[in-house]
Amino acid sequence: MNVVEKIITLEHKESVRLDSDQLSGLYRQLGDKNALDVLCRTVEELAVRLSNCERYWRQREWADLRKCAKSLVAISEQIGMTALARVAGDVAHTVDAGDAVAAGATLGRLIRVGERSLTAVWDQQDLSV
């Protein structure tokens, strides 16, 4: 057996949690049409900020990465994306600790959780493009 036969591919599968009570409260407070509008704009904004976080990390713009991650915490909590909020907070903590390697690893997790969270809320609300 050669070394290549021993290679194992690890798959990163992140579970996400959506706080349905938070989403229901948003719909009760704003009504269906307005809540859907807010949710669509928020999903779009989260996608942009996830992309920005990745760019800031690649460019080693630590203060901007921290600020962007913290903004993801606040926004995702508002629409019940608890896992996304937690991991975004973890990214900010790794930046605060000055650990570039941990920041990169945690950011990778943030991107995975972010993508799954956006898909989950999109599917749950049956949003269309």
Task: Give per-residue pLDDT as tens, 80-127.
Answer: 999 999 999 999 999 999 999 999 999 999 999 999 998 887 777 665
Amino acid at 102: A
Q: Which two tokens stand for residue 82?
A: 């608890």
Give the integer Cα–Cα distance in Å for 122 and 115: 11
pLDDT score of 7: 66
**Does residue 15 sit in helix, strand or coil?**
coil
Does 19 score more than 50 pLDDT? Answer: yes
Task: Give per-residue pLDDT as tens, 21-64.
Answer: 888 898 999 999 999 899 999 999 999 999 999 999 999 999 99
Q: Which domains are present in the chain?
A: 18-125 (1.20.120)
Question: Confidence class of residue 128 from pLDDT cuts 50, 70 and 90?
Answer: very low
